């Protein structure tokens, strides 16, 4: 790995993530006013929404990297797809944890079969299956290609899934993408807080992905060395 | 392509292995539902539709698993991959074979479930057959692709449903809605968007399987 990449990965990225995360936590818990009706529990929204965006962005990257890998056979693309699926999975899990914490006091239930909730849990299981395939398949070259196919098919599924669950009635609040004039963030500080936690989580996501991708690369070279040792 | 379909079907017709084990598993599932759901009460059409599709899916998993395991064991897939035909055609051949098998299973299962678990009688019309064809086509295309992928790994029996079920979620939602509508005799125009969605699902994933089989069979 080049020296500049190492500095970026080991110094710049972790420290900026750390600073951004502390700033975001400060803004979420101290600076920003509570929402009028929902009270303090609404503050979880700043993390919940951004986690979901990062996770879904990660899954889009999985599909893009899978296409790239199938076209060129570049192992780096494959590792990035793998790493993004893993971290995306982690973030989706956190979305599924933070959601019910908010839903219990506000909706009165931990879980309901609303479109977005349904979509999130199905996505979670699609990528769980993807990671399961990678784990059970091992380092075999064929499996790597199969995983790429699955990464693309999984992403193809998303628009249909969105359509299917949208035809059900939804109760999930659409804060950011709504035409309702009552919706949206009323206090400008709320917007800034959302942005700050978005930046912090985006940095965290990138950092985790780069760490995982590096580890996967090391894994591959260890496996290659092992194979060489067996041969000689 | 049709040769593959013919080959798979003739294996099945001669042995009847798959059909009998699928049928038995499906029947046992229906019994399980009957024991656990108190069948004395009339089961609502929505439930019936869901149970029917779930049963077909679980029983179908057996057939799908089998369709590639047989090939791998006998080295048939290598032979197929070496054959001077387009890889996509191999996918289509396999998928059509699975489609026909699952369709027969569905045609047997659905009335059986309706009779055993009780329904107010079937509303006549083309909606139920259309749903079944479209739904089974989607299961066959995704299932064939996933079975090909899973058959390569150590834990193939476990992996196939894990891969297949989440991908089939939109299809199952749509198929259950239309089936329920067909059971109560609703006007087909009420569920038009669901039918279109089933059709779209079939087109997208049959094309995806057809295109990606190049990468799947490359040994």
- Interchain contact A55–B (C-beta under 8 A): no
The residue-averaged pLDDT of B43-61 equals 84
CB B123 within 8 A of CB B190: no
pLDDT digits (tens, 9 = 90+) for A44-82: 888 888 888 888 899 999 999 999 998 888 888 989 999
- Residue A165: closest CA among chain B residues belongs to which residue? B170
Q: Which of B139, B54, B65 is nearest to B99 (CA)?
A: B139
Chain A closest CA to B211's CA: distance in Å? 10
User: Per-residue pLDDT for B9 more than 60?
Assistant: yes
Contacts of B200 in chain A (CB under 8 A): 160
User: Per-residue pLDDT for B19 more than 70?
Assistant: yes
The residue-averaged pLDDT of B177-195 equals 78
At B196 the pLDDT is 86
- Interchain contact A109–B (C-beta under 8 A): no
Contacts of A115 (CB under 8 A, 6+ apart): A162, A165, A166, A168, A170, A172
Distances (CA, A) of A210 to A59, A93, A213, A215: 15, 20, 5, 9
Selected for mutation to probe chain B from A59, A149, A166 (highest B CB count within 10 Å) is: A149
The residue-averaged pLDDT of A202-220 equals 89
Helix (H) or strand (E) holding B132: helix B127-150
Which of the given ranges, A1-10, A20-29, A178-187, B82-91, has the highest pLDDT on average?
Answer: A20-29
Q: Is A35 helix (H, G, I), strand (E, B) or coil?
A: strand
CB A61 within 8 A of CB A80: yes
First to last CA, chain B: 20
Q: Which of B183, B162, B4, B177 is nearest to B79 (CA)?
A: B4
Q: B165-204 as b/e, with b when 16 or more CB fall inside 10 Å?
A: bbbbbbbbbbbbbbbbbbbeebebeebeebbebbebbbeb
Q: How confident is the model at residue B91 (pLDDT cuts 50, 70, 90)?
A: confident
- Interchain contact B23–A (C-beta under 8 A): no
- Report which DSSP code applies to A37: T
pLDDT digits (tens, 9 = 90+) for A163-201: 777 775 555 555 555 555 555 566 777 888 888 888 888
The pTM assigned to this predicted structure is 0.81
Give the span between the Cα atoms of A131 and A61, in whole angstroms.
15
The residue-averaged pLDDT of A200-226 equals 88
At B219 the pLDDT is 56
Q: Which of B99, B124, B122, B123 is nearest to B112 (CA)?
A: B122
At A139 the pLDDT is 64
The residue-averaged pLDDT of B162-175 equals 87
Interface predicted TM-score of the whole assembly (ipTM), two decimals:
0.79
pLDDT digits (tens, 9 = 90+) for B121-149: 566 677 888 888 999 999 999 998 888 88
Nearest CB neighbour to B167, from listed A140, A148, A153: A153
Q: What is the DSSP string of B74-108?
A: HTHHHHHHHSSS-HHHHHHHHHHHHHHHHHHHHHH
The residue-averaged pLDDT of A203-213 equals 89
The two tokens of residue A23 are 């700033």
Q: How confident is the model at residue A40 (pLDDT cuts 50, 70, 90)?
A: confident
Give the span between the Cα atoms of B104 and B31, in whole angstroms.
20
Selected for mutation to probe chain A from B141, B160, B166 (highest A CB count within 10 Å) is: B166
Contacts of A128 in chain B (CB under 8 A): 162, 166
CB B93 within 8 A of CB B5: yes
Beta bridge partners of A35: A39
At B97 the pLDDT is 84
Contacts of A97 (CB under 8 A, 6+ apart): none
The two tokens of residue A40 are 């303090």
To the nearest 10 degrees (0 to 180), the angle between helices B2-15 and B87-117 is 40
Q: Is A103 helix (H, G, I), strand (E, B) or coil?
A: helix
Q: Is A39 helix (H, G, I), strand (E, B) or coil?
A: strand
Q: What is the DSSP string of B134-164?
A: HHHHHHHHHHHHHHHHHTTSTTHHHHHHHHH
């Amino acid at each position: 790995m080049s020296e500049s990449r190492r500095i970026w990965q080991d110094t710049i990225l972790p420290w900026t993530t750390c600073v951004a995360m502390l700033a975001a936590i400060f803004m979420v818990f101290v600076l920003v006013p509570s929402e009028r009706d929902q009270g303090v529990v609404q503050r979880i929204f700043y993390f919940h929404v951004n986690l979901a965006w990062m996770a879904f962005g990660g899954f889009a990257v999985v599909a893009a990297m899978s296409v790239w890998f199938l076209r060129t056979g570049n192992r780096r693309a494959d590792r990035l797809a793998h790493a993004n699926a893993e971290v995306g999975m982690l973030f989706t899990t956190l979305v599924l944890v933070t959601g019910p914490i908010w839903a219990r006091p506000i909706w009165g239930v931990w879980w309901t079969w609303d479109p977005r909730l349904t979509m999130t849990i199905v996505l979670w299981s699609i990528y769980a299956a993807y990671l399961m395939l990678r784990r059970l398949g091992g380092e075999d070259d064929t499996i790597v290609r199969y995983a790429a196919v699955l990464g693309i098919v999984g992403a193809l599924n998303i628009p249909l899934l969105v359509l299917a669950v949208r035809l059900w009635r939804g109760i999930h609040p659409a804060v950011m993408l709504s035409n309702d004039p009552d919706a949206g963030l009323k206090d400008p500080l709320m917007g800034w807080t959302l942005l700050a936690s978005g930046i912090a989580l985006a940095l965290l996501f990138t950092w985790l992905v780069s760490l995982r991708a590096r580890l996967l690369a090391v894994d591959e070279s260890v496996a290659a060395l092992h194979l060489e040792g067996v041969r000689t | 392509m049709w040769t593959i379909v013919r080959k798979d079907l003739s294996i099945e017709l001669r042995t009847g292995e798959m059909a009998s084990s699928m049928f038995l598993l499906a029947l046992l599932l229906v019994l399980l539902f009957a024991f656990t759901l108190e069948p004395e009460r009339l089961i609502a059409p929505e439930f019936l539709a869901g149970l029917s599709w779930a049963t077909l899916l679980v029983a179908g998993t057996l057939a799908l698993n089998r369709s590639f395991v047989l090939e791998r064991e006998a080295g048939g897939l290598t032979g197929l991959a070496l054959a001077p035909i387009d890889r996509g055609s191999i996918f289509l051949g396999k998928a059509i074979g699975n489609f026909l098998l699952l369709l027969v299973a569905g045609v047997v299962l659905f009335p059986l479930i309706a009779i055993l678990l009780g329904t107010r009688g079937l509303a006549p019309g083309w909606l139920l057959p259309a749903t079944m064809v479209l739904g089974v086509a989607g299961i066959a295309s995704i299932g064939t692709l996933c079975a090909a992928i899973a058959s390569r790994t150590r834990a193939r029996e476990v992996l196939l449903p894990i891969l297949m079920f989440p991908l089939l979620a939109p299809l199952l939602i749509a198929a259950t809605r239309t089936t329920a509508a067909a059971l109560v005799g609703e006007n087909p125009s009420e569920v038009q968007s669901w039918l279109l969605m089933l059709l779209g699902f079939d087109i997208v994933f049959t094309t995806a399987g057809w295109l990606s089989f190049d990468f799947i069979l490359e040994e």
